[in-house]
Structure 1
Amino acid sequence: MRHAQSKALHAYWQTRRQGGAAPHRADIEPQDIAGLLGYVFILWRADPQHHIFRLAGTHLCDLYQREFREQNFLSLWRGHDRTHVQAVLEASITGCAPASVIARANSLDMHQLPVEISFLPLRGPSCTIDRTLGLFQPLDTTDAFKGRPVVRTSLREIHPPAMPGHIFPGLAVDDRSGVKKVANDQ
């Protein structure tokens, strides 16, 4: 995670875990993260194809000029971007580890805003890890978007959970060269 706000949310998430795999949704206190709430969101995993907004901050809704409650987070993405974001979300939840992506939010008149989107797994009411605490952190000013909604979100970078081979089994990185290799071809 790059941005100071993303790091702050990650640090808070770590403290709320209390030694467990993931904190409970009820352990997240809005007053503890008051400065981040405008871009915070919480998703509920209904199934692998549906990560539903349970909560979305006002700044996030204003940026897209729509209400997100009960909407599928994956609907923000198209084609391969959607597939990759779904894989990152699923890996974060199943591996109980934070992940993030860097994306570009675009308006109809081609204004662009780089954003970092963080994913931190949470336990729901049944104690199952089926929630995601997220942060949609702009990496630049949002001034160019006044009155212009984001109409497309495109993926630029993926920072999956720190679990080698979890998302893409068989993919290994040579520590000496940094070159990615398929395990079967080594």
Structure 2
Amino acid sequence: MQEAVTQSLFSYWNTLRGQRRAPKRFEIDPSRIANDLPDTFILERMNPRNVRFRLAGTRITEALGMELRGKNLFDMFDADDAATVQSQIEIITEHCAVGVFRISAENGEGRSTTFEVLVLPLTHTQDSVERFLGSITSIDKPGWLGAVPLTKRTLIDHEIIWPNGEPSREGSRSNDLVPILHTRREARIVRSARRQFRVYEGGLSLAGDER
């Protein structure tokens, strides 16, 4: 995890969950993450093919130049990238893992920038994961960001982080929490015709839901 917002949000989430697989949705206190709220979002899992934005911070919507509330996360990408993101969300949902994505966004006229995206699971009814807390943060922070809509998003790389050092199972507990990473690791994902990803052990924290 590279960005300060990503690290801060992960730390908050990890502290809040304690020895559990994930914290409860209603435990998220916006006042504890007030400085990061403009860069954060809440997702609601309607079904495996529809994970929609319930809330999105102002810096996210301004940077991308689009309203995200009610939008399906997977609709932000082309078919191949959407399938990859969908598979990663399923891993996060099933195992209470943490997802870190790097995406590029462009306006079709030569302007593009890179974002770091964090996805953190939240349990809801019957301790199932139906919500996600996350952030979208510009890495490059160009001066023109927010002035033009970024209409095309492309997945660059992604990784799954196990907060307990291994895949989480229902009822499992572990004290072997991973440390926060303050720099990007050298290993990177190479895009190819057949998309692949590498799973890393280790890792590194947002806003309340309305309901």
Q: What is the TM-score when the length of structure 1 is the normalising length?
A: 0.82
CA distance in structure 2 between the aligned counterparts of 1:39 and 1:156, rounded to whole angstroms: 20
Show CA shifts across 1:35-55 (max 9, x none): 111110110111111001111
How many residues align? The count is 165
Once the two structures are TM-superposed, the CA of residue 116 in structure 1 deviates from its matched residue by 0.7
Does structure 1 residue 19 correspond to structure 2 residue 19? yes
Question: Does the Cα contact within 8 Å between 1:108 and 1:148 map onto a contact in 2?
Answer: no
Instruction: Give the % identical residues.
Output: 28
**Unaligned ranges ≥5, structure 2:** 168-195, 197-211
CA distance in structure 2 between the aligned counterparts of 1:71 and 1:110, rounded to whole angstroms: 26
CA distance in structure 2 between the aligned counterparts of 1:92 and 1:149, rounded to whole angstroms: 29
Show the counterpart of 2:33: 33
Alignment of 1:97-176 (within 5 A): 97-162=97-162
More helix by share: 1
Q: What is the TM-score when the length of structure 2 is the normalising length?
A: 0.73
Matched letter for residue 152 of structure 1: K
**Unaligned ranges ≥5, structure 1:** 165-179, 181-186
Show the counterpart of 1:92: 92
* Greater than 4 Å deviation, 4+ residue runs: none
CA distance in structure 1 between the aligned counterparts of 2:125 and 2:38, rounded to whole angstroms: 24
More strand by share: 1
Show the counterpart of 1:80: 80
Matched letter for residue 99 of structure 1: G
Q: Which structure's relative contact order is higher, taking Cα pairs within 8 Å and 6+ residues apart?
A: 2
Question: Does the Cα contact within 8 Å between 1:104 and 1:112 map onto a contact in 2?
Answer: yes
Show the counterpart of 1:176: none
